[in-house]
Amino acid sequence: MSEAFRAEYEAANPELARRLKFNIPAADVGLFNFSHCKMGDEGMRYVHGILEHPERIENLILGANLLTDKSAPLLADIIRRAPKMKELSITRNSFTDKGLAVLAEAIGEHPKLEEFRSAENAAKGEALAALFCKFNADEAEQGKSTKGSAFILSSMNEMPSAVLVKLFNAQGITLGAKELLRADGKPAPLLKRLCENPDGVEPLFTLENWQGNQGEMKRVYQALPEAHKPTNFHALLQQLRGTRDAGIGR
């Protein structure tokens, strides 16, 4: 941030500038709470400039600040320069899939970030579904887990299972064992997320999603806790057998 911008911003927004400065805590405190400041993107630019020691940040709260995708690169830079950050909240802003994708890259590289909240933003989910699969594939190739796919799931945490599955299928992505199971055959984070949703895993068990693949569907079904096994499984299995016998599917 240039000195000219800083002086201009403080002259035009004296009370807000004072409030934003006040919310930067003492040296021994890791909570940086800027919620409900309604700072907007220019305010985010100002905060980015006055954060002299982002390495101190453990909790960064930015809810209800009128932020848009313009703020995503600045926030991503803060995330990368805050290795101790454990919590990030951007609820009740106007980030779209595009902005969240920028943040996802930074969060996927972060060593400690554990909790991310992004409810009540403008994201639709299409780009996030594709990005989740990218992270998932990268993690499988590297043989280790990163925070990339976990970030995407937390970004989608208010979406019903039926919406989630449709988002993936709309991208031409079928949710099979690769996305739903860990290497040891136990439920992966995405499958756990679906189990936690009010409409459960039943929307996952459709002909459109499984594309005739009985083997993968059985593996996922067997990995589910008994309480979460879908009631439509056996009927779908019969349908899948019918498509296979007709020369469709795998």
Whether pLDDT at 250 is above 50: no
Query: Is residue 151 included in any domain, yes or no?
Result: no
**Domain region containing 76:** 1-124
Same domain, 19 and 100: yes
Rounded distance between C-alpha atoms, residue 87 and residue 127, angstroms? 23
pLDDT in tens, 36-87: 999 999 999 999 999 999 999 999 999 999 999 999 999 999 999 999 999 9
Query: Is residue 137 included in any domain, yes or no?
Result: no
Indicate the number of domains in the chain: 2
pLDDT in tens, 175-209: 888 888 888 999 987 888 888 888 889 888 888 88
Query: Is residue 109 included in any domain, yes or no?
Result: yes
**What DSSP letter does each residue of 23-65 carry, written as one string?**
TS--TT--EEE-TT---HHHHHHHHHHH-S-GGG-SEEE--SS
Q: What type of residue sits at position 108?
A: G
Same domain, 194 and 109: no
Locate 28 and state its tokens. 């021994």
Same domain, 180 and 99: no
Cβ distance 57 to 78 under 8 Å?
yes
